Amino acid sequence: MYGFSSRSIVLCLLPLVALVFGSDARGDTQPNVVVVFIDDMGWADFSCFGNTDAETPAIDRLAREGIAFEQFYVNSPICSPSRVAISTGQYPQRWRITSYLAHRQLNELRGLAQWLDPKAPMLARSLKQAGYATGHFGKWHMGGQRDVDEAPPITDYGFDTSLTNFEGMGAKLLPLTKTGDGKVGKIWGDAVRLGEPVTWMQRSKITRGFIDAAIPFMEKAEAADKPFYVNVWPDDVHSPFWPPAEEYNVAKSKGKRGLYLAVLETMDRQFSKLFSYIRDNPKLRNNTLVLVCSDNGCELGAGQAGPLKGYKTHLFEGGIRSPLIVWGPGLVATGAVGTRNTTSVFSAIDLTPSLLRLAHAKPPAGTIYDGEDVLDTLLGKSTAGRQAEIFFRRPPDRKNYYGFSHLPDLAVRQGAWKLLCDYDGSRAQLFHLIDDPGEKDNLAVDNPQVVSELTTKLLAWNKAIPQDNGLELGKQPEKKTRSSRRRYSLQQGDDLSGKSAPDYGGRSVSITTSFDSKGADGVILAQGGDKQGYALYIREGKLVLGVRDAWKLTEAVASEPLTSGIATVTATISKNGKMQLVINGKVAATADAACVLTQAGDGLQVGDDKIKPVGKYTSTTFAGSISEVKLKFD
């Protein structure tokens, strides 16, 4: 459609990928676009976004040479609909994809389409019609998975070529696994019937496999003097977590998060090849824009979202806000290089109209995007966010998840305000996200006019789009993913992890025990980690009850040191976070965490806190003796 010379734009988007071009971009060029869409990564998982437990130097360098956006959203807290949004510029509800696509019967139960309708206004197709070479390398998950084997091929959506994983039709890379002791296995082997050729390779190397296929495609397009649009959408950092075999044993010894972090660092190393290829090629460096983001929030117990509340599947910020990095020497405004944009609010659906303008491409006739053109903001020439609200609807099968019960059904972000409520507008929660990014202080009662305005808009939006079966499924009894037991009798040295760990999310906690500290500090009981959890411990001779909520630690500390001999203790945490310590029948301390306890992925230990500390300890291992510990949850 346009006979312009090629330029390259590389978008590293975790769950959503976008293009960003800077002030030096000429109006008569078509930049290349590369989209990297990371899977299930938390807002704070890049070290440039605050991760101190792992290093991501390749992506951090992009941030230093580009722009980091802190208020970027994906349009669903779960995989498939998030991918539809970034691919079409429209809310995924319009295409009846509102949760992850799975087996045929489960899709029908939830009221989902079996695959994305090829008539959807795909960004790839519009760019192809404008003269771009288009390639998809990585996870698809918009049709063709499990027993749904008649979905359209990826090339029906505007791509010249594709290489995918087990959740897509056509040529694919499938994973082998290898433990530290050399045991080899396969996963997702039945996906072979969804298309060939199939290449089997170690799970820890599949991101590199997609990159190794994408680079020759880009080289071929460059040789033909064609602009290119390339998706690189890795399986990483989605579970199951399989770091390189030589790192497996050490990572596994650190638990689920240890495995996750090893995968994250491996992925970053593999992406350095793609970024270096673009950066070191003089024909591409000043023509390429890279956006990096995630498709949704992190899995509980794996990634982290910093101060943000919630996880993947939640409409809280931790489920829908993603880091976004935009890189493009010669494209990004010079004065914006190396900056952090903390104010511009926009989302994945805004990338499609923005990239179309960048590429001088046209949308399909009659298409109305939900997204807005924010290209100038992506390029650092403006700080304007989108003008319209951003609306969200939860996955229909996620009313109760990750220790959160009765989750809100809908959400809307408008300026500094965010409102969450149920389908009928009830149970409204209102947060001022500039002052309260962790969504702790519900301001609904104090701001009835704001609640009324946002609720009216949100319900009208939801009414106007196709419905799924979320209302009916939300009425079903909550399924317990962990033990639903209310009472436990534990001994010193007990270690409960995984599904054997108590389910304390949203419940009150009562701890009753007797112990002899023998004058030493240490942990009596701990469940959770340094983000969420609770613990009973001795520090500097004083008994302490600690509660973690979104990394904030609240402590009830006894005013006097413990006396020698056996102490009998009852420690309680109410459903709304009120804490009390009773020692030998007398109230020794109280505090108020002002929160509902949130289930952590870490397990429970008696006499130690082995992984991420819940409290501030002088010592973790308890040197004294602990009699039976009785736990009660209501």
pTM for this model (two decimals): 0.74
- Angle of helix 351-359 relative to helix 79-88, nearest 10 degrees, comes to 30
Q: Which CATH class is domain 487-633?
A: mainly beta
**118, two tokens:** 């090829």
Half-sphere exposure for 9 (CA within 13 Å, toward CB)? 33
Which of these, 304, 329, 268, 353, lies nearest to 60 by C-alpha position?
268
Q: How many CB atoms lie within 10 A of CB 576?
A: 12
Beta strands in 405-476 (DSSP E): 410-414, 417-421, 429-432
Lowest mean pLDDT segment, chosen from 396-400, 414-418, 622-626? 622-626
Name the residue ranges covered by the structural domains of the chain.
Answer: 10-382, 393-473, 487-633
H or E element that contains 578: strand 578-583
In one-letter notation, the amino acid at residue 40 is D
532 falls in which pLDDT band (50, 70, 90)?
confident
384 falls in which pLDDT band (50, 70, 90)?
very high
pLDDT of residue 5: 32
pLDDT of residue 628: 84
pLDDT of residue 479: 55
Q: Judge whether 531 and 287 are in contact, CB under 8 Å.
A: no
Lowest mean pLDDT segment, chosen from 271-275, 333-337, 476-480, 517-521? 476-480
pLDDT in tens, 450-483: 999 999 999 999 999 999 999 999 988 765 544 5
CATH architecture of 393-473: 2-Layer Sandwich (3.30)
**506, two tokens:** 């949203």
pLDDT in tens, 164-207: 999 999 999 999 999 888 888 888 888 898 989 999 999 999 99
- Angle of helix 255-280 relative to helix 245-253, nearest 10 degrees, comes to 140
| Beta-carbon contacts of residue 47 (< 8 Å; ≥ 6 apart) | 54, 55, 56, 57, 60
CA distances in angstroms from 540 to 492, 557, 617, listed in the order given: 21, 11, 9
Q: Which CATH superfamily is domain 10-382 in?
A: Alkaline Phosphatase, subunit A (3.40.720.10)
Q: Are strands 552-557 and 542-549 parallel, antiparallel or unpaired?
A: antiparallel
